[in-house]
Amino acid sequence: MAGLLQLSSNVWRAERADEFAIVIDADDYFAAARAAMRSARKSIFLVGWDFDASITLGRPSEDYEGPAHVGDYLLWLTEESPDLEIRLLLWNPGFLSNWAKLSNLPYLLRWKLHGRITVLLDGNHPVGSSHHQKILVIDDAIAFCGGIDVTAGRWDTRKHVDDDPLRKRPNGASYGPWHDASSFCAGPAAKALGDLCRSRWRSAGGQQLAPVDFPHEPPSLKGAVSFGSVTLGISRTSPAYGDQAGVAEIERLYVDMIMSAERVIYAESQYFASRVIAQALARRLEEKDGPEVILINPVQADNWLGQLAMDTARARLREALSLHDPHGRFRIYHPVTANGVPIYVHSKLMIVDDKVIRVGSSNFNNRSMRFDNECDVAFEAGQDDHLSGKLVQLRDNLLAEHLGVDPDEVTQTVARTASVIGAIEVLREVRTAGHPGSGSTLVPYHTPEISDMEQWLADNEILDPEGPEAVIEPMERRGLFRGHLMAPLKRSRSQS
């Protein structure tokens, strides 16, 4: 392969996608996944970190062909298609097992007795690691890969309406607005994702499975951003375990993308806690003519452990990077609703200039780089002006969602200010000046005060190890600030 994506370095496989699209937020993703499953004739492979059989696979208020809840829907699909085999491969996190959920228990026996639905819980990984991939493959012909699990608390529309009555868990409890992303592909690239699922299935104790040959016409995806046919690279993270060597293609891809940037790095991630990524960004931010870097994060992690580990590491890295950003080109923003409610950012996506995009399951943290099982997909625009233009349109489309404006307004403001950061600031001012609650927008990150204990946990990567070996690495060899580019700070301060 010529260009940024390189086999045996930052890409495991590179295959043609007859169609590739980005699907934004779970309203569109669940609808697309439901339609794709309905088209299945031979095989459905669902690989996930979490799963809840009782959720509605689609918009909760609508009527569908077949049962609404995904658990019943899978059973119905096998009745409709007598040759269909359904396999679910889920992470087995011990005492926090997916199947400890009351909502999943009614399906255990029904699926166990079913001849064509098989569930494996995968615990074949180092202690403390997880299987974090989110992949859906239909007949080896069409596939999805991204950050959205088929579970509770994920569904939302791109409008992220305050107090949306449809945003409810199966038990009726409301949850807050949620932003996420996945991707769709068709053709040989989908077959390659099927190969990855079969490999995972075998390593989890399942039988050796043969590929499926059942061509599909690429479906029409409501709301998706389509790129047409591309060469799609598939990148993985896999920890060293037993006789299996570690794989760090995703880490390499992140660094290569950052180092290739000329003007703008736009990224969405649940966390910002990776020392390797921070060091790569520091190098670029020190350059006189380096790129702008815009990172969209949630205000805070959605659980206490994440807040303790990930949020503290973010604060430390942000303060360290301020020492390497003399030109003021790094910003972290959080999206909020019209009423100022934080929108949880769960998407894992990066666009560099008008050249390359990646989307998948990996976050900007050490675990995703070396310790958990992850899968991302990426493509380069190359010399294709149409693809280059579509990448910029997607970036502006995402910013428009976050800023509560029309995508054309983002594009025009970027052109007028000659800066994505400048455009964000102009549009933020328009949305918020004297009009609290006037619309959704982006708010800047401010570094919080952190306790000595939180600082120690973050600096020593206690809860976010870089790999299996780091779990037992001597304390003196650990550290968020290893390397010559950064040094620990005594006290955090607010971003200007």
Q: Is the pLDDT of residue 478 over 50?
A: no
Quick check: do 13-238 and 251-477 share a fold?
yes
Q: Quick one: which of 480, 149, 187, 134 has its CA closest to 319?
A: 480
- The predicted model gives 7-24 an average pLDDT of 97
Any bridge partners for residue 88, and if so which?
A: 46, 119
Burial 460-489 (b: 16+ CB within 10 A, else e): bbebbbbbbebbebeeeeebbbeeebbeeb
pLDDT score at 61: 86
Cβ proximity of 194 and 15 under 8 Å? no
Q: State the SS3 of 99-144.
A: HHCCCCHHHHHHHHCCCCEEEEEECCCCCCCCECCCEEEECCCEEE
- The predicted model gives 237-264 an average pLDDT of 95
How far apart (Å, rounded) are the C-alpha atoms in residues 27 and 70? 14
How far apart (Å, rounded) are the C-alpha atoms in residues 1 and 100? 45
More confident call, 76 vs 109 = 76
pLDDT score at 334: 97
- As a whole number, the mean pLDDT across the chain is 88
Gyration radius of the chain's alpha carbons: 22
470: which DSSP letter? H
For 23, the token pair is 């699907």
pLDDT score at 301: 85
| Collapsed DSSP state (helix, strand, coil) of residue 61 | coil
User: Helix 26-38 vs helix 70-80: angle between axes, to the nearest 10 degrees?
Assistant: 20
CATH number listed for the domain at residues 251-477: 3.30.870.10
The domain defined by 13-238 carries CATH number 3.40.50.300: no
Cβ proximity of 227 and 23 under 8 Å? no
- The predicted model gives 135-144 an average pLDDT of 98
Q: Is the pLDDT of residue 321 over 50?
A: yes
pLDDT score at 469: 52
How far apart (Å, rounded) are the C-alpha atoms in residues 163 and 341? 10
For 120, the token pair is 């494996």
How far apart (Å, rounded) are the C-alpha atoms in residues 496 and 454? 23
- The structure tokens 């790095």 sit at 265
Q: Is 120 exposed, middle or buried (0-12, 13-18, 19+ CB in 10 A)?
A: middle
Q: Is the pLDDT of residue 203 over 70?
A: yes
Cβ proximity of 197 and 137 under 8 Å? yes
* Least confident among 357-366, 413-422, 475-484: 475-484
How far apart (Å, rounded) are the C-alpha atoms in residues 214 and 209? 15
Report residue 481's pLDDT band, with 50, 70 and 90 as the boundaries.
Answer: low
How far apart (Å, rounded) are the C-alpha atoms in residues 395 and 432? 22
Query: Is the torsion defined by CA of 295, 466, 360, 389 positive or negative?
Result: positive
Q: Is the pLDDT of residue 470 over 70?
A: no
Cβ proximity of 77 and 35 under 8 Å? no
- The structure tokens 């794709």 sit at 36
φ and ψ at residue 170, rounded to 5 degrees: -55, -25
Put residue 11 in one of left, alpha, beta given phi > 0 → left and psi -120 to 50 → alpha.
beta
Q: Quick one: which of 283, 55, 81, 248 has its CA closest to 150?
A: 55
For 180, the token pair is 């996420």
Q: Tell me the HSE value of 436 on the side-chain side, using a 13 A CA sphere.
A: 2
Cβ proximity of 261 and 291 under 8 Å? yes
How far apart (Å, rounded) are the C-alpha atoms in residues 381 and 260? 13
Q: How many CB atoms are located within 10 Å of the residue 370 CB?
A: 25
How far apart (Å, rounded) are the C-alpha atoms in residues 111 and 247? 33
How far apart (Å, rounded) are the C-alpha atoms in residues 346 and 269? 6
Whole-number Cα distances in Å, 366 to 50, 362, 371: 20, 10, 7
Report residue 304's pLDDT band, with 50, 70 and 90 as the boundaries.
Answer: low
For 379, the token pair is 């493509």
- Where are the domains positioned within the chain? 13-238, 251-477
Q: Quick one: which of 42, 39, 31 has its CA closest to 64?
A: 31
